[in-house]
Amino acid sequence: MHAVYSFLTGPLAWVAFGIFFGGIAYRLVSRALLARKRDTAVFEYWSFYHALRSILHWICPFASVNSRRRPVLSVVTFVFHVALLAAPLFLFAHITLINEAFGVHWWFMPDGLADVLTLAVLGACIFFFVRRKVRPEVAYLTTAGDYAILALVAAPFLSGFWAYHQLPGHAAATLLHIFSGEVLLVIIPFTKLSHMFFFPFTRGYMGSEFGAVRFARDW
């Protein structure tokens, strides 16, 4: 068990973070070079002001027409993304591990809040799952991969919750937590989860086109 733990938190963690950061860098740089070659419009019409304006309208709930049309989904999506990023980044246990390894630390949230955020992520995953099942326009688009990604996103949160609360089998849950977290990091750059880092560019480009060339809103 200890050997597995050491492997997961040692070499595999290095590999996972390496692929995560390296993968994102590779995807962004190679995509930018391709755009330089084939989509010169992206650079030509890019406007930081209009890009930011559009991005802000689309990350704040209710700041776009479509967001106002779907209040429940807007709130769930917003809470989901905030919780998804905040819980792992500001978790006491994670920061302790990083502090022990590298001697750096930052603000952490109370464990109670982390629990709430974790449950929010899991609740949102269930919401998204049901939405994919019941809404015809979403069900039509949904692939097996979409469900797999949903499961892979939920896994570290579920196993983390399990481990923290010392539920039966928590030792295995701890290992599963670390492993599933690493799997998630590795797949982010190469799956639909790449929307994490492509979002500012797709939205920003449309915002630039609409704002600086078309003189129209895009929200």
List C-alpha distances in Å: 15 to 162, 183, 195.
25, 10, 22
Stretch that binds other proteins, among 7-15, 94-102, 118-126, 202-210 (CB under 8 A): 202-210
Minimum Å distance from CB 160 to other proteins? 24
- DSSP-derived secondary structure letter, 191: S
Minimum Å distance from CB 22 to other proteins? 18
Q: Map residues 60-79 to x or -, x wherever contact with other proteins holds by CB under 8 A.
A: ----xxx--xx--x------
- DSSP-derived secondary structure letter, 70: -
Among residues 115 and 146, whose Cβ is nearest to other proteins?
A: 146
Minimum Å distance from CB 209 to other proteins? 8
Q: Single out the residue of 3, 72, 103, 137 in contact with other proteins (rule: CB under 8 A).
A: 137
Q: Which of 207, 55, 204, 39 is nearest to 215 (CA)?
A: 207
Contact (Cβ atoms closer than 8 angstroms) between residue 212 and residue 47: yes
Q: Single out the residue of 19, 23, 54, 157 in contact with other proteins (rule: CB under 8 A).
A: 54
Contact (Cβ atoms closer than 8 angstroms) between residue 35 and residue 43: yes
Q: Single out the residue of 139, 148, 151, 171 in contact with other proteins (rule: CB under 8 A).
A: 139
Dist CA 219 CA 207 (whole Å) = 9
Find the binding residues for other proteins in span 150-189 (CB under 8 A). Answer: none
Q: Which of 197, 202, 207, 201 is nearest to 25 (CA)?
A: 197
Contact (Cβ atoms closer than 8 angstroms) between residue 119 and residue 161: yes
Binding residues for other proteins (CB under 8 A): 31-32, 34-35, 37-39, 41-42, 44-45, 54, 58, 64-66, 69-70, 73, 132, 135-143, 146, 192, 194-195, 198-199, 201-207, 210, 213-219
